[in-house]
């Protein structure tokens, strides 16, 4: 072989080698991932969301029912309180120019004391009233004495003094204005008012 043939063969071999080294084999294409059927996962998520929504709706409904029951119970308690107050809080009456509790009014006052014991939230204002005879100043003072003796009697029956207040209207708020004893006896009274 001649020198030029050898050189030519070397050139061809070198070129083949450099061409072979410069070319990379293509990366294998990854196989496509199999499609995952996510309808089961979606269905589970929807079921869970629906369950949570139903649970929340049930919780709210129960909360509203509890609130409504409590409101109705409070209304019934308020009505019972009002009925008991109307039944117990009856006027008591006094003799002319007197502030002593009359024997026939002691049962009424016992009923008021029982009401106060049954309803610790009850607070009373005891109003002292007089008939039209006498001066304004004298009747204000007599009304004060009547209201005070009424409260003292209630305290003696176990009522708390701090739940009772007094006021005198003297002859300023008569129930009756006829100038006779039957009318005057109705005006000589202690009247009971629930206060807030």
Cβ-based burial of 119 (10 A; exposed 0-12, middle 13-18, buried ≥19): middle
Same domain, 96 and 167: yes
Q: Which residues form the domain of 66?
A: 50-88
Whether 31 is covered by a domain: the verdict is no
Same domain, 179 and 129: yes
Residue 55, pLDDT above cutoff 70: yes
* Rounded CA separation 60/65 (Å): 9
Q: What is the pLDDT of residue 40?
A: 81
Same domain, 107 and 178: yes
Nearest Cα neighbor of 101 from 80, 69, 126 is: 126
Angle between helices 136-156 and 106-118 (to 10 degrees): 60
Last residue of a domain, one of 41, 72, 88: 88
Same domain, 151 and 109: yes
* Rounded CA separation 185/136 (Å): 18
Same domain, 105 and 163: yes
Whether 133 is covered by a domain: the verdict is yes
Q: How many domains does the chain have?
A: 2
Last residue of a domain, one of 38, 64, 88: 88
Mean pLDDT value across residues 80-89: 95
Whether 131 is covered by a domain: the verdict is yes
Same domain, 145 and 69: no
Contact 190, 126 (CB under 8 A): yes
Whether 43 is covered by a domain: the verdict is no
Same domain, 119 and 160: yes
* Rounded CA separation 108/100 (Å): 14
Q: What is the pLDDT of residue 13?
A: 62
**Is the pTM for the entire model greater than 0.75?**
no
The string of pLDDT tens digits covering residues 159-182 is 999 999 999 999 999 999 998 999
Whether 170 is covered by a domain: the verdict is yes
Tokens of 23: 């070319």
Same domain, 131 and 149: yes
Whether 124 is covered by a domain: the verdict is yes
Q: Cβ neighbours of residue 116 under 8 Å, at least 6 residues apart?
A: 122, 124, 154, 159, 160, 163
* Rounded CA separation 137/171 (Å): 10
Q: Cβ neighbours of residue 89 under 8 Å, at least 6 residues apart?
A: 112, 115, 124, 192, 193, 194
CATH number, domain of 162, equals 3.30.1330.60
Same domain, 119 and 189: yes
Same domain, 115 and 136: yes
Residue 144, pLDDT above cutoff 80: yes
Whether 110 is covered by a domain: the verdict is yes
The string of pLDDT tens digits covering residues 3-15 is 666 656 666 666 6
């Amino acid at each position: 072989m001649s020198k030029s043939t050898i050189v030519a063969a070397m050139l061809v071999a070198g070129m083949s080698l450099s061409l072979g080294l410069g070319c990379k084999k293509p990366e294998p294409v990854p196989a496509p991932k199999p499609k995952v059927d996510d309808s089961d996962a979606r269905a589970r998520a929807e079921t869970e969301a629906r369950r949570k929504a139903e649970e929340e709706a049930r919780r709210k409904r129960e909360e509203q029912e509890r609130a409504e029951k409590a409101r109705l119970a409070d209304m019934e308690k308020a009505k019972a309180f009002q009925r008991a107050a109307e039944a117990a809080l009856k006027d008591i009456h006094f003799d002319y120019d007197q502030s002593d509790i009359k024997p026939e009014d002691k049962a009424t006052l016992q009923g008021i004391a029982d009401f106060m014991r049954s309803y610790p939230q009850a607070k009373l204002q005891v109003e002292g009233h007089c008939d039209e005879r006498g001066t304004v100043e004298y009747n204000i003072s007599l009304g004060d004495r009547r209201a005070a003796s009424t409260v003292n009697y209630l305290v003696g029956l176990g009522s708390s003094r701090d739940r009772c207040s007094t006021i005198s209207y003297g002859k300023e708020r008569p129930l009756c204005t006829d100038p006779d004893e039957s009318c005057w006896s109705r005006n000589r009274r202690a009247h009971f008012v629930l206060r807030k």
